[in-house]
Amino acid sequence: MPSSRDNSIVVLGSANMDMVAKVKGFPRPGETVFGASFGMFPGGKGANQAVCAARLGGTVVFIGKIGADVLGKRLADTLKRNKVNVRHLMRTRDTMSGTALIAVDGKGENEIIVISGSNMAVTPGEIRQRKGAFARARVILSQLESPLEAVRESLALGRRNGAITILNPAPARRIPGSLLKLVDYLTPNETEAEMLSGVRVNTGARTEKAALKLLDLGVRNVIVTLGSRGCLFVNRKTSKRFPALKVRSVDSTAAGDAFSGALAFALAGGKAIEEAITFASRVAAYSVTRMGAIPSMPALRDLRKWRPGR
């Protein structure tokens, strides 16, 4: 019988309007500092990852909720312009669209405050109503800027249909073991790996220990992203470190999103995991050399032309 599955990627996640200030240094509590510039960029971990995979050439379906406001309209337009399928993007009049206040310092590091708004109004029932999209998908990708019950429902539908499930557990939140058991690839950074595993992550050996603990909790593969130090891939058969490309960081916002979006794209296209990780690392490195979240995601032709370190 012919399979009705295509190579699509379903992303359940957030869309936020990012209000970004460039600063020399982050303010301390009670301090006021002057910013060098301000910009408004479409973002949100879900939208960033969806656009990343779509710009690379993936077929991407986005599930999320925006407010019936001007920011929501801009976010929807951005997704559409980037060829993300928004058939399952919902709108609500009850809450405003998600926003994020972001400060980026001279080293490209960031501090982020997310005001979730409509992103947290997605229900498991609304996910179930969209089960047709899950039945066709090759990869299901989610993060933690959506309600955990909705994330769990998405991963469960993906698992039931034989799709590859990826969870980028950001921002760091405690999540139940029943959710972790549905994850094929978990992509935490060190903070998230520490919170989820309960293992203090302060050395390479401790990072591996945290990853092993996450395998014990039911995740099939863990990829801990380590910023400029690359990433660590761990499953029951292997533990392997992948280096990062050396680049001059302009804005590290959404580097983790670039990594997860590109990983989803590569796995949906049938790449083996180690090749997919090398590709995702390159996409993440590219993204930190550009300002903003969605504006920093490359198309394949940008990557081909790009010479890191120049």
Contact footprint for ligand RIB (CB under 6 A) = 14, 16, 18, 43-45, 48, 100, 112, 114, 145, 253-254, 256-257, 293
Nearest to 122 by CA among 148, 156, 93, 159: 148
Interatomic CA distance for residues 300 and 282, integer angstroms = 11
Closest distance of CB 51 from ligand RIB, Å: 11
257 is catalytic: yes
Beta carbons of 259 and 192 less than 8 angstroms apart: no
Task: Centre a 10 Å sphere on the Cβ of residue 296 and count the other Cβ atoms it contains.
Answer: 26
Closest distance of CB 304 from ligand RIB, Å: 25
| Nearer residue to ligand RIB within complex by CB, 19 or 245 | 19
- Which residue in the list 18, 69, 251, 257 is annotated as catalytic? 257
Closest distance of CB 62 from ligand RIB, Å: 14
Where helices occur in the chain by DSSP H, the ranges are: 45-55, 70-81, 124-128, 131-136, 148-160, 177-180, 190-197, 204-216, 255-268, 273-287, 300-305
| Nearer residue to ligand RIB within complex by CB, 117 or 235 | 117
| Nearer residue to ligand RIB within complex by CB, 45 or 282 | 45
| Nearer residue to ligand RIB within complex by CB, 146 or 207 | 146
Interatomic CA distance for residues 70 and 43, integer angstroms = 15
Q: Which residues contact 116 (CB under 8 A, 6 or more apart)?
A: 14, 98, 145
Closest distance of CB 131 from ligand RIB, Å: 26
Relative orientation angle of helices 70-81 and 45-55, to the nearest 10 degrees: 20
Q: Taking CB positions, which residue lies at the least distance from ligand RIB? A: 43
Closest distance of CB 244 from ligand RIB, Å: 17
Beta carbons of 275 and 266 less than 8 angstroms apart: yes
| Nearer residue to ligand RIB within complex by CB, 145 or 194 | 145
CA angle 11, 221, 237 (to 5 degrees): 155
Question: Annotated active-site positions, please?
Answer: 257
